[in-house]
Chain A
Amino acid sequence: MSMLLEVSGVTVTFDGFRAINNLSINFAEPELRAIIGPNGAGKTTFMDIVTGKTKPDKGRVIWGEKNMSLLGMSESQIAMEGIGRKFQKPTVFEDQTVRQNLAMALKNPRGAFAVLMHKKTAANGARIEAIAEEIGLLGELRRSAGELSHGQKQWLEIGMLLAQEPRLLLVDEPAAGMTTEEREKTTDILRRAAETRAVVVVEHDMEFVRRLACKVTVLHEGSVLAEGSLDHVTSNPDVIEVYLGRANA
């Protein structure tokens, strides 16, 4: 397994608060990884750094075989390099249909002129339908995204990520607000996606992480506290201290 993304020695400070503190973390391709940690552990900030939204004070973020640095690249450039991101709140374009949402995300030239001259093709249509089937929204393609249920919106957003054909998928709390049944389906989608690419799931919910059955990284105060299988990290005394200890202290 070759390393797809290497984050090393990254530090970010917001007004004196160290959101990320000398964080080093690596991802292989393919891989399914869960990142857990208490509130304020720096999970979202970590995603912001990788996707170019936040610039770190220190450290390196190296991507792909060519060892390209992601620092200094814009959000859209990073997205074009193959990093897709799903936000915590489902953010789909509610005014537009499911098909339009997926079509916009589909991997195609992103330049304004190419988009202006874009024509619908059967090949693109087939790709959209394949993705819609994968996320279970094949029957909803003509519906406006705003009419979908919360869970369906989350899947649509995951579908939009898949349509981008990213090599690394960053997924922020995909199971939030979902029913048990919806969670199971989400787990299936993510596990299938991780067969060919790196999928990183940030999640609060331990039950959901257990169902993913993958390597887990525990973040705490902006750096890695423990890494390994879920059983391994949950038996780690430091992790127990962080998650449960505060109440006792």
Chain B
Amino acid sequence: MRYVIALPFLWLGIFFLLPFALVLAIALGTNAPDSVPPVDLGIGLKSFTLLFTDDLYLAAWLTSLRIAATSTLVALLLGYPMAYAIARAAPRRRPLLLMLVVLPFWTSFLIRVYAWMGLLDENGLLNQFLRWSGIAANPGTILGTEWAVQLGIVYAYLPFMVLPLYAVLEKLDVSLLEAAADLGARPIAAFLTITLPLSLPGVVAGCLLVFIPAVGEFVIPDLLGGTETLMIGKVLWDEFFTNADWPLASAVAICLLVLLAAPIALFQRQQARGPEPARERRR
């Protein structure tokens, strides 16, 4: 029995703590291009100081946060009505609607991002359609811009927004909305004072589930973005594979982890406390 309980700790120890210690050790070492692996172990903060002093990295951080934040907001604005509609649909139709939300997962993530390349390319389906229909004779190319990255992130992570929102909205007692209406609340007031505050845990969960992976996203900016869209995940990849600077890449990874641990901890605390004691907005 005791060993069964130890299992998750063993798992975390082998597959998280040990690799993390390795990455930390590498980050504290110095770059040694001629040795294998290209690291001289030691205790130095050179890689970290570089991260915080070089404008390139700071810019990459800010771009990542900005893109992740906007994508999260857009996903929330799209996902909330979707989740609401599914939660209010006839019970026998909900499984089908939920399956449609999850359906893209049945295809590989990478293939779906490639599909967007085919859509957004200069001679992609989108531009072909625009030219054929006469809406725009000379449309620009979305592929290779930040727009394409945002679009890709929203597309890829929308289900992670919809599912937790659906979970809270589906549980929402309809009689609460009837009570609000009965007490004189118009539908919009009932939404703002009852539905929205009670769905806040789902909003927080959905936003974190989109924001956290979006910040470190590498595949989407690499394939859909251009050279000017510098996200931190791409910087990490470049440092590791192109520049073979393992300590710097490791330092980026550790900073990313620390940065994302904060919202996760916030989320956990909020979950442990139960529904947010949101106060009604005062007039």
Indicate whether A and B interact.
no
List chain B positions with a Cβ less than 8 A from chain A.
Answer: none
List chain A positions with a Cβ less than 8 A from chain B.
Answer: none
